[in-house]
Amino acid sequence: MDQLTLNNGKQIPQLGLGVFLVQDSADLKQSVDDALKDGYRHFDTATIYHNEAWVGEALAQSDVKREDLFITSKVWNNNTTYDETMAAFKESLKKLQTDYLDLYLIHWPSEGYTEKWRALEDLYNDGQIKSIGVSNFEQPQMDKLLTTAKIKPAVDQIETHPYFQQKVLHEYLTGLNIAHEAWGPLGQGKSGALEDATLKQIADAHQKSIAQVILRWHLQRKIIVIPKSIHAERIAQNIDVFDFTLSDAEMTAIAGIDKNRRGSADPNDEGWLKESLSMN
C-alpha cells in the first residue's frame, strides 16, 4: 500500500475503504472483514453515516493491531459549537471502540465551522486525533478558516472523479500542502465515467477494469481515495491497482474528459447548508 505523508508528518494509506450509505450491519462488517484480508488498513466513516458502531465492532474483532489501522470519521453539520463538537467526537470514539482517531474532519463548511475547528485543534493538541482536516471545503471557505486557524488542515476530502476533476482546487490545495482526498472517486456509479470510451480504451490496454484505471489516475495525481463497495470481488479489485502505471499520454487523455460536473451537493449552496443543520 502506498502511503502519503501529510503536512504534520503523519502518514496516511493512499487507498482506503469508504462506507457511505452502507446501512446493513452484516454487509458492513463483512465488507470490512474482506477489506482487511485484502490488505486495507484505512477506513473512512462519519457520524451522519450511522454506521460507526459497526465499523468499530468489525475492526475490534479483527486481529489487526490498532496502531496498524487508519480510522477517519467526521463531525456532522448539526454540531455547530465547540462543546457540541467535543461531545460528538467522544461519541464517535465510543462507537468506534478506540481512544483516538487517525483523522477527524469537519464534514461540510456549514454554520460554526470556525468554532468546530477550534475544538479539533484542542483534540489534536491533546493527542486524541493524530491529524485534523475538513471535507467539502472550497477555496473561499478554506481561506476564511485559515484566517483564524492555528493549525493548517492536513486534508480536504472533496468530491472528485474523472467527470469532476477539481483541477483548480487541486492546485490550490497542493500549493498549501493540504492533501486532496477524493470521495466518490468512481463517480458514485451515476456520473457515467464507468462507461467512458476513453477510459475503456486505456483499461483494455492495461488489461484492467475502468474502475481500476480511475483509481490509478487518482493515485498518480497524489490523491487519497476511499472507494466504497460491499462486494468482495470489487473490494479486492479496487486495491489491485499498484502493479501498473498510466503513461503521461494516458493521464493527459483522462484530463481531457473532465466535464466539471458535480454529482452531489454543492458546498457553495447556502440554502442546502442551512437545511443540513436539521439532518441527523
Where in the sequence numbering do the catalytic residues fall?
A: 49
Separation between Cα atoms, residue 23 and residue 170, nearest integer Å = 31
Q: What φ, ψ does residue 24 adopt, rounded to 5°?
A: -115, 125
CA nearest to 17, candidates 42, 50, 51: 42
CA nearest to 182, candidates 225, 215, 142, 235: 225
User: What DSSP letter does each residue of 202-214 carry, written as one string?
Assistant: HHHHHT--HHHHH
Site of grid cell 465551522? 113
Give the start-end residues of each E strand in the chain.
Answer: 3-5, 11-13, 17-18, 42-44, 70-75, 101-106, 129-135, 155-159, 179-183, 224-225
**Residue 68, class by beta-carbon neighbours within 10 Å (0-12 exposed, 13-18 middle, 19+ buried)?**
exposed
Separation between Cα atoms, residue 180 and residue 205, nearest integer Å = 28
Separation between Cα atoms, residue 226 and residue 229, nearest integer Å = 10
Q: What are the percentages of helix, strand and coil residues in the chain, rounded to 5?
A: 45, 15, 40
